[in-house]
Amino acid sequence: MKLTYRRQRVHPKHRFATSQWAVDEKVTLIVRLDHEGVVGLGEVVPSTLYGQTLESSEAALTSIAGLLGDDPFEIEPIVQRLLAAHNDQRAAIDGVDAALHDWCGKKLGVPVWRMLGLGRPRKRTTFTIGVAEPELIRVKVDEALAAGFDALKIKVGTADDEQTLTYIRERFDGPLFLDANQAWTPADAADHVLALARFRPTLIEQPLRAGDWRHMAELRRLGVAPIFADESCERPADVLRLHGCVDGVNIKFTKCGGIREALRMIALARALDMQIMLGCFVCSSLAIAPALTLASLVDYADLDGALLLAADPFEGITRDGGVISLADRSGLGVWPRGGD
């Protein structure tokens, strides 16, 4: 197996910001796995939130190239080796996990979702409106509704929250997900959550700092909306830790390390009767495809990372209003734009 990678630059159509950070340009890594004339592709989307940089991911990939062995069908033992060697570089492992699945699907001539025995990857996604000046938020909301999105995710945690949500609720009656990205403290979070009740949120995501997960149980008891953990929930063991504290978890492949680890998190969350959302960062469709592959297993998808781009370097995901689907092709079902 030969593993190579290259850098890829993508740009959101509008600057994308949360209460904690902003993105004008995102550099990801395209992983390419060559073996027996078949090419598997995956995307590494490093996040400094989780101790992953472009450089640390590249260093991990260089090391990983020597750990793969010679049989791509042994995905599980390979991923176990990578987790043992690079436990803190799960974005890199995610890219390799995706490339292995893509390679196996292509080699067998089946889509990865069929290879895994899952339902067809077709799911409503929320469209995310980042933190911005109120005038720009209004432009983004109007664009999203005109484009047919029928579930919105709003980044909250600023002084403009009520103004923004009032504007949205005057125009949109559908599902509204609110994500505070750790903006509040145990002392003020309950007041913020109660103030948001009149906007009828479908759920409220990560109201407190990642380490404050015990206090999230108090916010649950307010009964305003289900409380979801995102930054508090990186890996399978976090699902167990959060049981009883939150109603649901946001699983992202960059955090957990790809399809194999995400399947473990989904199984745990389901066994514990917790709800599940699949999330993403700003990225191209290549990084969305593995998550969309598992969409039939979860309650909610927030897989708009590539839809936020001015230009997506990959194609294969189609959108019908707010519902996205994967192309019925072997492998992950996405390919470089203009290629095959």
Give the nearer residue to Mg ion in terms of CB position, either 205 or 261: 205
- Report yes or no: 10 and 44 within 8 Å, Cβ to Cβ: no
Least distance in angstroms from the C-beta of 282 to Mg ion:
13
DSSP 243: B
User: Is residue 230 a contact point for Mg ion (CB under 5 A)?
Assistant: yes
Stretch that binds Mg ion, among 38-46, 87-95, 226-234, 307-315 (CB under 5 A): 226-234
Least distance in angstroms from the C-beta of 112 to Mg ion:
25
Distance from the Cα of residue 108 to its chain's centroid: 27
Give the nearer residue to Mg ion in terms of CB position, either 30 or 306: 306
Report residue 334: phi and psi, to 5°: -130, 155
* Beta strand segments in 175-290, E: 176-179, 203-205, 227-229, 248-252, 275-279
Neighbours of 329 (CB within 10 A): 17
Restricting to residues 26-45, name those near Mg ion by CB under 5 A. none
Give the nearer residue to Mg ion in terms of CB position, either 161 or 230: 230
x/- mask, Mg ion, residues 129-168, rule CB under 5 A, reads: ----------------------------------------
Restricting to residues 188-207, name those near Mg ion by CB under 5 A. 205
- Report yes or no: 33 and 40 within 8 Å, Cβ to Cβ: yes
- Report yes or no: 313 and 10 within 8 Å, Cβ to Cβ: yes
Left, alpha or beta for 285 (phi > 0: left; psi -120 to 50: alpha)? Answer: alpha
Least distance in angstroms from the C-beta of 279 to Mg ion:
6
Least distance in angstroms from the C-beta of 226 to Mg ion:
14
Residues 311 and 330: their CA atoms lie apart, in Å, by 24
Restricting to residues 67-126, name those near Mg ion by CB under 5 A. none
Q: Give me the residues paired with residue 22 across strands.
A: 17
Residues 272 and 274: their CA atoms lie apart, in Å, by 6
Distance from the Cα of residue 11 to its chain's centroid: 17
Give the nearer residue to Mg ion in terms of CB position, either 205 or 212: 205
Give the nearer residue to Mg ion in terms of CB position, either 205 or 312: 205
- Tell me which residue has its CB nearest to Mg ion: 230
User: Is residue 179 a contact point for Mg ion (CB under 5 A)?
Assistant: yes
User: Is residue 302 a contact point for Mg ion (CB under 5 A)?
Assistant: no
Least distance in angstroms from the C-beta of 283 to Mg ion:
14
Q: Write out the residues near Mg ion by the rule CB under 5 A.
A: 179, 205, 230
